Amino acid sequence: MPDLLIELFSEEIPARMQAKAAEDLKKRVTDGLVDAGLTYAHAGAYSTPRRLALQVEGLLAESPNTREERKGPKVGAPEKAIEGFLRSTGLTMDDLEIRDDKKGQVYFAVIEKTGRPAAEIVAHVLSDVIRNFPWPKSMRWGSGSLRWVRPLHSILCILSDEEGSQVVPMEIDGIAAGNTTEGHRFMSTGSIAVTGFDDYAAKLKRANVILDAEERAEAIWHDATNMAFAAGLEVVDDKGLLAEVAGLVEWPVVLMGEIAEDFLGLPPEVLQTSMKEHQKFFSVRDPKSGKIVRFITVANRETADNGATILAGNQKVLFARLSDAKFFWENDLRVAKSDLSRWTDKLSNVTFHNKLGSQKARIERIAALAVKLASVVGADADLVAKAAEVAKADLSSEMIYEFPELQGLMGRYYAEAAGLPREVAAACEEHYSPLGPSDDVPTAPVSVAVALADKLDTLTGFWAIDEKPTGSKDPFALRRAALGVIRLVLTNDLRLNLDHFFDAQLLRHEIEVTDSEETELLNEMLTEVAQHGVFGSAVRAIIERLDGDAPEWIAKLKDHEPDVAENLLSFFHDRLKVYLRDQGVRHDVIDACLAMPGSDDLTLLVKRATALSDFLKTDDGENLLQGFKRANNILSQAEEKDGVSYEFGADPKFAEDATEKALFEALETAKGAISSAIEAEDFAAAMGGMAALRGPIDAFFESVQVNTDNEIVRRNRLNMLHTIRETCSQVADLSRVEG
């Protein structure tokens, strides 16, 4: 059984594409071989900056012979049908056999394929793979028409077995396959002929190329950590950078250098980001002070001076880079210390979104909303106002222009430099959080208020201009923003009617005022909306008070349609379902709770859902649910049949049966217990109260026929079923629970 070795040797492949390209090569070639009947034992893929390699072991020497019989149209069938059959089988009329079938004479095609040698199949498959390779971006070069990620120089393709190795004859765009490769660009010369994978890997290593990216990464990490350890320091872990650097070198040589004293005062995040983004350096930390004091760079070669020239060059480049960073930092600190409003004012020239105005306008909206949220989260309103005002000031700083990924973090440094309270500084950094599902959720009240306002403003804004996420498209990360709000509310146990805040902020997006008196009026109105909703009596009262000389925009308030806020709320409910499902709460349980009033109070909603979910996992819960459903079904059928609703309350004096009387009593007792539990929002206790009904309900149905001939007794029993329905529906609409 022969082994196959393929190497595609090119100019430098972007580091970020190498690993996927090696896997694509493996998958496509092996799939192609298997499709052609060539099975194999094992395959492995490798990449370096200049090559993709594939090793396939234990390949069949040739594909097996195959014979396939296919039944075609009847003899005498329309010509078109016969033509189609010939086309699909690739045969001519003479090749077809005529056989007797149940319905008469039928054409049969017998397609026999003789096996082909591996070399022929490999040549065919590899040409096809190279021509259709899924590079994220590919190019042409010279006068050729072939596309590859960068110019492809040579193809090594050999099959080897005990007898020796053979080049697979093939040619693509003037490149003929051979059995040679090249070593390191600078540390090796000439071409290298190989006979198989082991020979290839060993000869490459002698020519200063480590074929396996994993092995290069391990070597880099091993040397880097040892070098740092010897100096009493530690390397800052960065898996992404390690993988990238391993894709930039064929022969890694780790060098450690100093960071000039001048720069040690920069925030560590700035040092780290600057070194990583621009220079692909690892940061080296002093474990005692936590400060970053050195860097590690990975060269692609050994030199006679042990890397002294390379290190000096890198150090010099770093010096220039950090001089820039220091220049930004010092300029920024100067602005921060004198007047942060210079930065926020500048944001009036920065567009957030062309339909949603400037960053400055956005900040003002966020601040207005954040202040309304202050009491909900228990934060000092003045601190919240200040925090919202400066939270995005750093977007104008020189540092953020250079390193956008440091937004928020620099904001905290600059707010501290401006002498602002630490709660305000913390909010500058934390108000972007939580960013992802595993990101920490802020808990400091000021940070929470601004974080909520930021996200709610974004969501209502995009809802107001009808730019909602659709399918997989969510360019403004609105799903993430909604999940952020959900996690902020739940983690901090916040009680608020989201609906009211939606309406208030939607109106703020819709209404533009410039006049200061009107601004004040708008603020007053929107505060009312946020507290009591857009249809609250206070809002109506103000509108009436203004009667006549009300500004034009009042009409928008009057005519405000709840649709948009409702749509946004249902978007939140969808996100919440996904979130709770991940925590093991079933979707029907959530639906049952969503049917209850106050579903825009997420904390309350989740309390209900958790209590119900837990309850349904118990036997009591499951049985009560069955009892409820039975009662509900009988009642619903009767209601439909009779066209009346039985909600007048049952009278115990018409109770005939002992179980019926017992149920009356149980219901009376339960009602009291349940309503006080509901009052206290102790839904678990409320469900417990309902569980006490399980026995009496079961016994009742056991011995009593609801639909008796006695109309009075029947009506009384239906009224009692109604009481059961009402009693059991106080936590959630159980009729929506499945099972």
Decide: is 143 part of the binding site for another protein (CB under 8 A): yes
CA 563 to mean position of chain CA atoms: 28
Range 247-286, binding another protein (CB under 8 A): 248, 279
Contact letters (x/-) for another protein, 364-393, by CB under 8 A? Answer: ------------------------------
Question: Tokens 């839904």 identify what position?
Answer: 683
> Is residue 303 classed exposed, middle or buried when 0-12, 13-18 and 19+ CB atoms within 10 A define those classes?
middle
Decide: is 303 part of the binding site for another protein (CB under 8 A): yes
> Is residue 349 classed exposed, middle or buried when 0-12, 13-18 and 19+ CB atoms within 10 A define those classes?
exposed
CB 255 to another protein: min, Å: 9
Sign of CA dihedral 141, 144, 145, 150: negative
Instruction: With contacts defined by CB under 8 A, name the span among 139-147, 454-462, 500-508, 590-598 that binds another protein.
Output: 139-147
Decide: is 134 part of the binding site for another protein (CB under 8 A): no
CA gap 239, 220 in Å, rounded: 12
Which pair of tokens denotes residue 66?
A: 């195959």
CB 153 to another protein: min, Å: 7
Q: Which of 153, 353, 360, 479 binds another protein (CB under 8 A)?
A: 153
> Is residue 42 classed exposed, middle or buried when 0-12, 13-18 and 19+ CB atoms within 10 A define those classes?
exposed
| CB 537 within 8 Å of CB 639 | no
Question: Tokens 């250079």 identify what position?
Answer: 402
Q: Which of 92, 232, 304, 517 binds another protein (CB under 8 A)?
A: 304
CB nearer to another protein: pick between 244 and 681 = 244
CB nearer to another protein: pick between 297 and 723 = 297
CA gap 221, 381 in Å, rounded: 50
CB 354 to another protein: min, Å: 7
Decide: is 230 part of the binding site for another protein (CB under 8 A): no
Q: Which of 15, 29, 444, 539 binds another protein (CB under 8 A)?
A: 15
Q: Which of 70, 124, 301, 353 binds another protein (CB under 8 A)?
A: 301
CB nearer to another protein: pick between 245 and 666 = 245
Q: Which residues are paired to 283 by β-bridges?
A: 295
Decide: is 140 part of the binding site for another protein (CB under 8 A): yes
CB 315 to another protein: min, Å: 9
CA gap 154, 183 in Å, rounded: 13
CB nearer to another protein: pick between 149 and 732 = 149
CB nearer to another protein: pick between 19 and 317 = 317
Question: Tokens 């009742």 identify what position?
Answer: 700
Instruction: With contacts defined by CB under 8 A, name the span among 135-143, 417-425, 436-444, 707-715 that binds another protein.
Output: 135-143
Question: Tokens 């082909």 identify what position?
Answer: 116
Question: Tokens 């149940």 identify what position?
Answer: 102
Instruction: With contacts defined by CB under 8 A, name the span among 13-21, 105-113, 537-545, 701-709 that binds another protein.
Output: 13-21
CB 170 to another protein: min, Å: 19
| CB 139 within 8 Å of CB 147 | yes
Contact letters (x/-) for another protein, 310-329, by CB under 8 A? Answer: x-xxx-xxx-x--x------
Decide: is 299 part of the binding site for another protein (CB under 8 A): yes
**Site residue total, another protein (CB under 8 A):** 40
HSE-CB at 308 with a 13 A cutoff on CA atoms is 3
Main-chain phi, psi angles of 255, to 5 degrees:
-130, 140
Q: Tell me which amino acid residue 258 is.
A: E
CB 22 to another protein: min, Å: 16
Q: If DSSP codes are grouped into helix, strand and coil, which group holds residue 101?
A: strand
The reply to whether omega before 434 is within 30° of 0 (cis) is yes
CA gap 19, 25 in Å, rounded: 10
CB 292 to another protein: min, Å: 17
Decide: is 404 part of the binding site for another protein (CB under 8 A): no
Decide: is 52 part of the binding site for another protein (CB under 8 A): no
Which pair of tokens denotes residue 109?
A: 């095609």
Decide: is 398 part of the binding site for another protein (CB under 8 A): no
Cα distance from N-terminal residue to C-terminal residue, the chain:
58
CB 348 to another protein: min, Å: 11
Decide: is 189 part of the binding site for another protein (CB under 8 A): no
682: left (phi over 0), alpha (psi -120 to 50) or beta: beta
Decide: is 176 part of the binding site for another protein (CB under 8 A): no
Count of C-beta atoms within a 10 Å radius of residue 5: 26
CB 113 to another protein: min, Å: 40
Range 443-462, binding another protein (CB under 8 A): none
Please report, as ranges, the residues that interact with another protein according to CB under 8 A: 11-12, 14-16, 49, 137, 139-143, 149-151, 153, 186, 248, 279, 297, 299-301, 303-305, 309-310, 312-314, 316-318, 320, 323, 349-351, 354
